[in-house]
Amino acid sequence: FMKLDKKDMLLYAVTDRSWLGCESLSFQVERILEGGVTFVQHREKMLRADRFLEEARTLKGVCEKFGVPFVINDNVDIAIASGAHGVHIGQEDMEAKTVRRLIGKDMILGVSVRSVEEAIRAERDGADYLGAGAVFHTDSKPDAQYISHELLKDICSAVSIPVVAIGGINKENIKYLSQSGISGAAVISAIFAQDDLKKAAAELRKEIEGCLT
């Protein structure tokens, strides 16, 4: 099992098939890991369960080659069956304490939060880290509720587990997240929508290290 380290949270990438073109997701994930991504969440809404499982196993292998944690979004069954290092859930999904019971104590559990109350409850219910957002406008979830910089700071100081900011983050606006207490930033299009994935990851990694350390 992979134990979570705060520095694993620095550059957290969430997969998205929208920009695959003729490449495979495993090829793209390998590129972003070469560029310096420190954590991968496999988010998949379209694939049939058998294809999803097969892909999850492949991606887990790629992540392990780089020593990077690999979690599945929302799907506890796939996370367990694929041997992923953990699972990430939102407030609309299963309750964190239920998920913790299903995955046991060794798998990583991440929970999305939008308030201090949700953050405290998630930590109490067994979360290893939190995803807080949306911190900026995001096209991947146009109806996402915003959280202010102040609220982000409050969430970070209310818990002892790492918090990653998510939502519309790119290399231009990431500097506004400094001094908030976050351990890292979660991105989708800031990496996957770019022409050179490895370069995009490397540039973001540099920006984040600059404003968080």
User: Could you give the maximum distance between any two Cα atoms of the chain, in Å?
Assistant: 44
Determine which one of 121, 141, 153, 171 is catalytic. 141
CA distance 3 to 5: 6
Are 70 and 84 a contacting pair, CB within 8 Å? yes
List residues bridging with 87 in a β-sheet.
72, 109
Determine which one of 112, 180, 183, 189 is catalytic. 112
Question: What are the backbone angles phi and psi of residue 185, rounded to the nearest 5°?
Answer: -130, 140
From the list 86, 53, 55, 52, the residue with the least C-alpha distance to 68 is 86
| 43 catalytic per annotation | yes
Q: Strand, helix or coil at 66? A: coil
Rounded-to-10 torsion of CA 77, 81, 83, 88: -10
Q: Which residues contact 192 (CB under 8 A, 6 or more apart)?
A: 13, 15, 16, 18, 19, 28, 32
Which residue's structure tokens are 């367990």?
Answer: 80
| 141 catalytic per annotation | yes
Determine which one of 43, 60, 198, 205 is catalytic. 43
**Where in the sequence numbering do the catalytic residues fall?**
43, 112, 141
